[in-house]
Amino acid sequence: MQRRTFLPALAAPALAASPTPRKGRLKQSVCKWCYKNISVEELAREASRIGLVGIDLIGPADWPAARKYGLIPTMAPGAGTIADALNRKENHAEMERQFRGNLDLAARHGVPNVITFSGNRRGMSDDEGLDNCALILNRVKAIAEDKGVTICMELLNSKVNHADYMCDKTPWGVELVKRVNSPRFRLLYDIYHMQIMEGDVIRTIRDNFQYIAHYHTGGNPGRNEIDETQELNYKAIAQAIVDLGFTGYFAHEFIPKRDPMRSLAEATALCDV
C-alpha cells in the first residue's frame, strides 16, 4: 500500500492484545505506509503490544484488522489527492461526492478524522487557492459537524517532497481554518514537513494550537527515526503538545532504518511524556 492509498470494506469488533503500559497523556498512532513489508494485521498486533492506540492512513478494508487488536483507525480517506484536491473549482463536485461518502463511512465506524489536501498550485495564487478551498469546505462542513468527524487538511513541504503543493505553510492553513469557521475542520500538522518549511516547531504549535487536530512525526533530514541522529527534539515537542491539553492523535510517520518494531517502540517510549 502506498501513502494515501485506500481500499473500501467493512469494520469489525475489537479484541485488544496486552499492551506495554504507557502514561497515555499523548494518544499515539502509527502510519501504515511506512511499513510496506508488514501486513496491517501484524502491524496492529505489534502496535497494540507496544502501547499505541491507533493506526493512521488506512482505509475501510483494513479497519477490521486494527479493531481486532483494540486500535482505532485514527485517520481515514476524506477527499482528493496531494496534487489534485480542493483548490480547483473543477474538482469540487467530485470532492463533495467523496466527502459525503467518506464522512458517512467514518461516522458509522467510529473513525474520528478524515484527511484532505489543498492540491498543487499550478500557477494559482495563494488568495485564489484560499477562496476555492473555503468554497468547497463551506459546502461540506455541516455534514462533518452532523457526523461528528473532523476534516483535516495536511500541511506538507513543497521544498523536498511535494513540489508546488499549496498548503505548505502554517499561516496559510490557519487562515483557511478561520474562513471555514467550523469545529470540524482543522489542520494536520506534520512536524517533519513543517520543520523543512518553517522550523520553530514548538512556538508554532503553541501559537496555533487551536487550529490543529492531528500530528504526524518524522525525523529530519530523511524522515527517519525520531532519535538523536536527527535535528528535532521529539521529547520536548511531545511535552509541549501534552502541556497544551491536546486530546487528539499523534501519529508516527517515519521510515525505520533499523528493526521496524524496535524503532517504533523506541519512538513511542520517547514521546510518552
Q: How many CB atoms lie within 10 A of CB 143?
A: 17
Band (18; pLDDT cuts 50, 70, 90)? low
pLDDT value at position 6? 42
pLDDT value at position 146? 98
> Which domains, and CATH codes, for the chain?
27-271 (3.20.20.150)
In contact, 56 and 62? CB cutoff 8 Å: no
pLDDT value at position 17? 45
Band (29; pLDDT cuts 50, 70, 90)? very high
- Which residues contact residue 6 at a Cβ distance below 8 angstroms, ignoring those fewer than 6 apart? 57, 58, 59, 60, 61, 76, 77
Judged against a pLDDT cut of 90, whether residue 121 lies above it is answered with yes
In contact, 151 and 98? CB cutoff 8 Å: no
Digit-coded pLDDT (tens) for 122-131: 999 999 999 9
pLDDT value at position 20? 86
Mean pLDDT over 225-247 rounds to 96
The pTM of this model reads 0.92
Question: Could you give the percent of the chain with pLDDT greater than 70?
Answer: 93
Digit-coded pLDDT (tens) for 43-74: 999 999 999 999 999 999 999 999 999 999 99
Digit-coded pLDDT (tens) for 200-214: 999 999 999 999 999
In contact, 267 and 34? CB cutoff 8 Å: no
